[in-house]
Structure 1
Amino acid sequence: MYDDIVELAGESPSWLQAAGIVFTEAGLLVFVALFAWMSWRARTSPVRLAVALLPPAATAIAYLISEGVKSVIQEDRPCRNLVTLVHCPPLDDWSFPSNHSTIAAAAAVGLALAWRRLAPWVLPGAALMGFSRVFVGAHYPHDVLAGLVLGAVTAWLVYRYLTGPTTRFARRLTAHAGDAPTQPMPKVDLRGDSKGPLLPPRR
């Protein structure tokens, strides 16, 4: 499959090759921009901000795990003896799993969980990032698949087990600062609303 995709990339129009190179190198910046945007939208509420900071935290954790796995598996890149769209990374830059795919999946799943309205955009974006890593010749398909699974699972675990503690901590900080609300927190659409990411229920 890897050889077929690389061959397809080599036979693709120059504009598609250029788009693939730009996306695979700079596409992760879109997720960084979304992190910043979501945090800015949530800035007026400590609890919302706590939720908004979980996706970048999950992404960082997933990246560290990916790097650890790379150092243990030490799978060589598939592009060593092939002509690919991008230069093959150095010899000590291992292939399994794909860091780009791990980061993209963690970011996308984290964003989708924190703000459901982003899901139709960020989840396909993560999949496209994974495909681009094979398209430009940097990774085997199984590197990408492993990275996507690792990133997605890490983001889900962080959201599942850290949302409660972080939001409770944010509420305590608000209460200690004398800003605790006098009325019950309103219910918020699980997809998030115009103010930012979803507000988890009290626990």
Structure 2
Amino acid sequence: MNSTDLYRDVTDFAHGTPGWVHSFADAGTEGGILLLMALAILGWWRSRRHDPRAVALAILVPVGTVVAYVLSEIVKGMVEEERPCRAVAHAAASIATCPAEGDWSFPSNHSVIAASLAVGIAIAWRAAIWLAVPVALLTGFSRVFVGVHYPHDVAVGLAFGAVLAALTILLLRRPMTALVLRLRSGPLRPLVEAQRGSHAAV
């Protein structure tokens, strides 16, 4: 089965589900990313109670996400794949509004962002992996479910985001740790180290 056939199968299934599922899936696309962002912020907040390396890893979560997103936008502009909600004949109408022409499909930026956040969180805060990874996968799947991406857009987007986030953190963890050490002796110390006696972090 190719990606187009799988897209038809998923969107046909989606249209057979209740209306509240449609609304949940459409809102969940953005909601999943917002949840991952909140988790990343919480991870940074709690890291301030730990050593500089832990803080550096937490700070690098959004850095890796930005790197992955920017590169995915470059790839989109090079590939220029039309959205399946316009290109696939005899497919069920998309649940979500089909993006405007010129808003290319490959890879899925939502999947790139979700995967890069999830992998970054998993590296910086391993206990949160049980939540971050399923949310990222569901966020990616929702893009096919609501009809705006092919399955291969999502699969490549997830892999692209995960790999780039991991590489960014791997390459920058030492210089970022050194920066955190310097910041802990300056006016920005509260951003990288919790005050003694503080119980605000998780």
Q: Mark yes or no: TM-score above 0.5.
A: yes
Question: Are positions 1:130 and 2:140 aligned together?
Answer: yes
Contact residue 108 and residue 154 of structure 2 kept, 8 A: yes
The aligned counterpart of 1:72 is 78
User: Mind listing any 5+ residue stretches in structure 1 that lack a counterpart?
Assistant: 180-193, 197-203
* TM-score, normalising length: structure 2: 0.83
In structure 2, relative to structure 1, the CA distance for the partners of 1:120 and 1:154 (3 Å cut) is: same
The aligned counterpart of 1:140 is 150
Q: How does 1:1-203 map to 2 (within 5 A)?
A: 1-43=6-48, 47=52, 48-80=54-86, 82=91, 83-174=93-184
The aligned counterpart of 2:193 is none
Q: Take 1:45 and 1:159, find their aligned partners in 2: how far apart are those partners?
A: 18
Sequence identity of aligned pairs in percent? 44
Q: Which has the higher helix share?
A: 2
The one of the two structures with greater contact order (alpha-carbon pairs below 8 A, sep at least 6) is 2
Aligned residue pairs: how many?
A: 181
Runs of 4+ in 1 over 6 A off after TM superposition: none
* TM-score, normalising length: structure 1: 0.82
1:168 Cα shift? Answer: 2.0
User: Mind listing any 5+ residue stretches in structure 2 that lack a counterpart?
Assistant: 1-5, 190-199
Give the aligned CA root-mean-square deviation in angstroms: 2.1
